[in-house]
Structure 1
Amino acid sequence: MVQQLSLATFMAILTVLIHLTGLALLVRLLRSEHRLVTPIRKAPLATLLLASLGVILIHTVEIWTYAFLYLGLDALHDFETALYFSTVTYASVGYGDVLLGKNWRILGAIEGATGIIMLGWSTAFLVSLLARLKLLAHDWLSPDTSGG
């Protein structure tokens, strides 16, 4: 059990570092003055699209990292199964149709908790971006001053 907890702690820290680095690079890209990025920054929806794709890429790297770990541990027998298990575990704490053996089930549970936290962090990032781009402002939120 100590081995599972140690590995799960390492993977949680690694996932946070991947996420932090990915978001930092994404912010740097979005703030870039590069000639390819400047037109995107002038279009708020394009900026939101780029940020969303960046966030999806970050989660993909994290999910694939866990999938390769499960393969390396011989906890799952093929890459498709490992990737499927990692994706459903990371995003929803699993469906239960693919299970890890007793030797690694704590690792899977901690991947689920870590994934939910990372998805929440990404959601906060995107909502913050929406606010900064003023895409959350709606006329229907303003009080009606027309008297009707």
Structure 2
Amino acid sequence: MIEILIINSLLIASVVLVHYEGLYRLTRLIPKLTFLRPRARIVISVFGALTAHVIEVWMFAFAYYFMVKSGRYGTLEGNFGGSVMDASYFSFTTYTSLGFGDIVPMGDIRYLVGLEALTGLVLITWTASFIFIEMQRFWKIKS
């Protein structure tokens, strides 16, 4: 139980740090792109944030893949063939809280699945706030 708690905590902390760093770097970069129109800077903000989300989803996907492969933390059952792509599909549906339900977690891995859904919700709303603030800042400038 302690082992799964440590693994989950380290993964969540890593994902949050990746998101923080991504948004922080975008905040510093976007104002320096004065050669671009404000609309283009907003688009770069969106693509940058999406890139951070994709990296985070893949971090969870690799965690699922290795946890299932180890056989010590549970399984992903249903339409799960055990590939990295299956793990990434499951991670995308979990992170976005879409949850098709064609892959079902069993065992201790369920705790990480719940944490990913919660983390995805928080990070997606953080991104929405970030983009809203960027839009307020740059749409005041004539585009």
Instruction: Tell me the TM-score normalized by structure 1.
Output: 0.80
Over alpha carbons, which structure has the higher Rg?
1
Aligned to 1:15: 15
Q: Secondary structure at the match of 2:65?
A: helix
Aligned partner of 1:71 among 65, 90, 100 = 65
| Distance in 2, Cα, partners of 1:105 & 1:39 | 48
Q: Secondary structure at the match of 1:133?
A: helix
| Distance in 1, Cα, partners of 2:4 & 2:96 | 20
Aligned to 2:40: 46
| Distance in 1, Cα, partners of 2:14 & 2:137 | 29
Aligned to 1:2: 2
Aligned to 1:141: none
- Paired residues, what number? 129
Structure 2 unaligned residues grouped into runs of 5+ = 70-74, 77-81
Provide the aligned C-alpha RMSD in A: 1.6
More strand by share: 2
| Alpha-carbon contact 2:39-2:139 (below 8 Å) kept | no
| Distance in 1, Cα, partners of 2:30 & 2:138 | 12
Aligned-pair distance for 1:17? 0.4
Aligned partner of 2:112 among 101, 107, 110 = 107
Say which structure, 1 or 2, has more relative contact order (CA 8 Å, 6+ apart).
Answer: 2
Aligned to 2:72: none
Moved over 2 A (4+): 1-6
Aligned-pair distance for 1:93? 5.7
Q: Percent identity?
A: 30
| Alpha-carbon contact 1:48-1:129 (below 8 Å) kept | yes
For residue 64 of structure 2, what is the amino acid of its counterpart? Y
Instruction: Tell me the TM-score normalized by structure 2.
Output: 0.83
Which range is displaced more, 116-125 or 102-111?
Answer: 102-111
Per-residue displacement from partner, 1:34-73 (whole Å, max 9, x unpaired)? xxx3322xx1211111100000000000001111111111
Structure 1 unaligned residues grouped into runs of 5+ = 136-148
